Amino acid sequence: MKKKKEKAKKIYHRLAFWLGVLVLGTIVGVSVQFTRAWVEPSASAPDGNIAAPINTGATKQVKKGTSSNKADICVDPKGTGDEICLGSNVSYSACSAIGGSAILVGAETICKLPGDHCPVHWTQYLYYTETKVNTCGSVSTGSHVFANIDPASEAVSYTTTSTYSYWDGCCYITNSCPPGMWHPIGSWCEDGSSCNGCTKSGTTTSTSICTPTITFVGCVAS
């Protein structure tokens, strides 16, 4: 009888031991998981909130980008870096509405618009333009089809020489007008005497820049 009690006591102690180990392990495991899941907020509320995930509901969801950071949804089907982006296949309706045409430049869709500047609420994308030759006197500028080229690089400088002449009032020696008795913008003296006057002439030289004519410009909504 005594042996049975001792055996039962040993079983009880072993059971209590392993039950304690199990409870302790569970507590430690839950604590570790909770610690790993908790991330300190990056800013005071409501700043720093995590963006809403893409959902599967029927409610419209928009990823809104900026002129410098395009919003898009892309997939890499085979993991080879060959991305297929939704934004590259969406028509640029806002561009069509203002008379432009959508042009895909890498991963960016820009609006090719006629003219030399972007309209209000649009910003030029890099140097994207199209130009045609402009002639100034004996020099002509460069030109390019729609591309990221600064039109200023196609400008050329040139010099012009012009001849001038002007009326210098009465020449006192030739018409004997007394000092102070000549009309500054006419051909007579203030005392009524005839005044032939003097005409002075010369040349001036100036330098100017001949710039190409911009026919198209690339813009993005700002």
Query: Do 128 and 146 form a contact (C-beta atoms < 8 A)?
Result: yes
CA pair distance 170, 191, nearest whole angstrom: 12
Tell me the pLDDT tens digit for each residue of 137-186: 899 999 999 999 999 999 999 999 888 765 555 554 444 455 555 444 45
- In this prediction, residue 143 carries a pLDDT of 97
In three-state secondary structure terms, 115 is coil
Which residues in 105-135 are b (16+ Cβ under 10 Å) and which e?
Answer: beebbbbbbeeeebeeebebbeebbbbeebe
161 closest CA partner among 204, 209, 112: 204
Q: What is the pLDDT of residue 122?
A: 93
The pLDDT confidence band at residue 131, using thresholds 50, 70 and 90, is very high
pTM, to two decimals: 0.50
| H or E stretch at 210 | strand 199-210
Structure confidence by residue, pLDDT tens digits, 34-85: 555 556 666 676 666 777 777 777 787 777 777 567 778 888 888 887 777 7
Instruction: Provide the pLDDT for residue 127.
Output: 97
Q: How far apart are CA 10 and CA 4, in angstroms?
A: 10
pLDDT at position 114: 97
Please give the Cα distance from 110 to 115 (Å, whole number).
15
| β-bridge mates for residue 130, sequence order | 216
pLDDT of the residue at 173: 45
Q: How confident is the model at residue 123 (pLDDT cuts 50, 70, 90)?
A: very high
Cβ burial of 171 (10 Å; 0-12, 13-18, 19+) is middle
Burial of residue 218, with CB atoms counted within 10 A of its CB: 0-12 exposed, 13-18 middle, 19 or more buried? buried
